[in-house]
């Protein structure tokens, strides 16, 4: 083997080592960053009643919701305090309140975004809380459909604020979401036959069901988060 051949072989080894080592270093760095930046109530700035909290839920539907909405923000609730302890008012398995610390643990890697509608009188925050309390115990709406017999998370938050005379986010049609990926199609495939507008032979298949419900309004967590009136209080997301 000539010196030139040896040099080429040595360079190839270095390149191959870099190809494997650099991604491992990046992964290790991200893992360490995620651990060190894990949110807990103790590290948060002072929160107010009515602050809106977002996370990346670990629920089975999260991947589909994230792809459909184009955002890692797949769950949302809002803060109320009881005896100085922050709770999250949310629609999860049902409409309820959950201690903030426990709520953060339900999300992925301790990620948390807190937004605030500034200059809201305490009376309006209290009105939103009262409305939410009156609607505790309602089931989670797996169809993301209009109406208040059941709620999905962002609908519950938007409706509570609306009851207090406060507007959040913008509605869009279901058909405007990204619905073509495999995880989204799988979720639709699991649920369309039970949808109130498709069950009992009202739709012949998932595509027919989508054509019937595509014009329905929906409000997503990321739509609320993008409301220009909201200000950021805290975030440990890389890109929010």
Note the Cα 187 to chain centre separation in Å.
16
DSSP output for 103-146: HHHTBSTT--EEEE-TT--HHHHHHHHHHHHHTTTPBB-TT--S
CATH class of the domain comprising 41-235: alpha beta
Give the predicted TM-score (pTM) of the model: 0.86
Structure tokens at 144: 């993301």
Neighbours of 102 (CB within 10 A): 11
- Digit-by-digit pLDDT tens for the chain (240 residues) are 576 555 655 666 656 555 655 454 333 333 434 445 799 999 999 999 999 999 999 999 999 999 999 999 999 999 999 999 999 999 999 999 999 999 999 999 999 999 999 999 999 999 999 999 999 999 999 999 999 999 999 999 999 999 999 999 999 999 999 999 999 999 999 999 999 999 999 999 999 999 999 999 999 999 999 999 999 999 999 888
């Amino acid at each position: 083997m000539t010196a030139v051949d040896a040099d080429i072989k040595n360079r190839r080894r270095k390149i191959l080592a870099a190809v494997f080592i650099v991604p491992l270093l990046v992964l290790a760095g991200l893992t360490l960053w995620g651990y060190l930046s894990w949110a807990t109530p103790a590290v948060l700035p002072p929160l107010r009643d009515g602050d809106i909290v977002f996370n990346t839920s670990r629920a089975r539907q999260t991947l589909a919701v994230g792809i459909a909405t184009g955002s890692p923000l797949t769950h949302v609730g809002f803060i109320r305090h009881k005896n100085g302890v922050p709770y999250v008012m949310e629609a999860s398995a049902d409409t309820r309140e959950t201690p903030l610390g426990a709520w953060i643990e339900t999300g992925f890697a301790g990620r948390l975004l807190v937004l605030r509608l500034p200059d809201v009188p305490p009376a309006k925050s209290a009105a939103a809380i009262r409305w939410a309390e009156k609607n505790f115990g309602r089931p989670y709406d797996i169809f993301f459909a209009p109406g208040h017999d059941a709620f999905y998370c962002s609908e519950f938050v938007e409706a509570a604020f609306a009851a207090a005379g406060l507007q959040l986010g913008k509605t869009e049609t279901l058909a405007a979401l990204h619905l073509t990926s495999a995880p989204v199609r799988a979720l639709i495939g699991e649920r369309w036959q039970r949808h109130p507008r498709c069950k009992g032979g009202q739709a012949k298949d998932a595509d027919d069901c989508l054509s019937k419900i595509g014009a329905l309004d929906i409000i997503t967590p990321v739509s609320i988060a993008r409301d220009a009136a909201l200000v950021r209080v805290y975030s440990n997301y890389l890109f929010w």
